[in-house]
Amino acid sequence: MTGTALIVGASSGIGEAIARRLAATGWRVGLAARRTELVEALAAEIGNGSIAARVDLGDADAARTEIAALAARLGGVDLWVLNAGIGEANPDFAWAPERDTVRINALGFAAMADVALHHCLARGRGRIVGVSSVARFLKRPAAVAYAASKAFVSVYLDGMREAARRRGGRVTVTEACPGFVKTEMMKAPAPFWVASPEKAARQIVDAALAGRKLVYVSRRWRLVAALLRLTPR
């Protein structure tokens, strides 16, 4: 299967790896990120009609406009990859990091998901994959805003999936739930079961194209998630 994909958060890590994987298999890719120079260089490298645009989720309303414009430039989108986000340790609960994490990971996610869902519903088809995290099950005081924002992403994707089901058509919504992936965002002091961005990209793309509801990256993190659900709160 090939088509047109739009990846928000394509400048590095999982998003970049997904872009490379899709382009290598014949997909035309729209690359969106705040760091314009990186996605422009990536678009030139992977070719196949790929295009790049600046999208900053720090301004949700502007991001919606920018994402919709990129979708229009692509002439329609078959696969949406909603991957952008931030995360940093904040054990002292300083306000600025908490505010920025919630603004980008929750409000920013809702902004790009809104564009993707309405686009797919209007076409009567499409695949949407949103990147959450196993962190949504954790109660770590060093990263409360990050964990909470990823829980928001998970619940939001559930709601999108039900909305799409009720509308009919052929729109699928997949939640990708990574554990540790070797990217610049990984800040754990002693990580285990670390996946490469390429492995994460392969599993996420395969799940999205198969229309699966949920994929853990790597799959063994399903066991951790099951144990965390049983942990008393």
Domains of the chain, first to last:
4-230 (3.40.50.720)
**Which tens digit of pLDDT belongs to each residue from 71-99?**
999 999 999 999 999 988 899 999 999 99
> Does the pLDDT value for residue 194 go beyond 90?
no
**Which tens digit of pLDDT belongs to each residue from 28-45?**
999 999 999 999 999 999
**Stretch 14-23: mean pLDDT:** 98
From residue 97, alpha-carbon distances to 89, 143, 144, 146, 154 in Å are 9, 10, 11, 10, 21
Q: Residue 141 — pLDDT band, cuts 50, 70, 90?
A: confident
Q: Which of 109, 137, 146, 180 is an active site residue?
A: 146
From residue 125, alpha-carbon distances to 77, 79, 161, 171, 175 in Å are 10, 10, 13, 5, 17
Question: 216 an active-site residue?
Answer: no
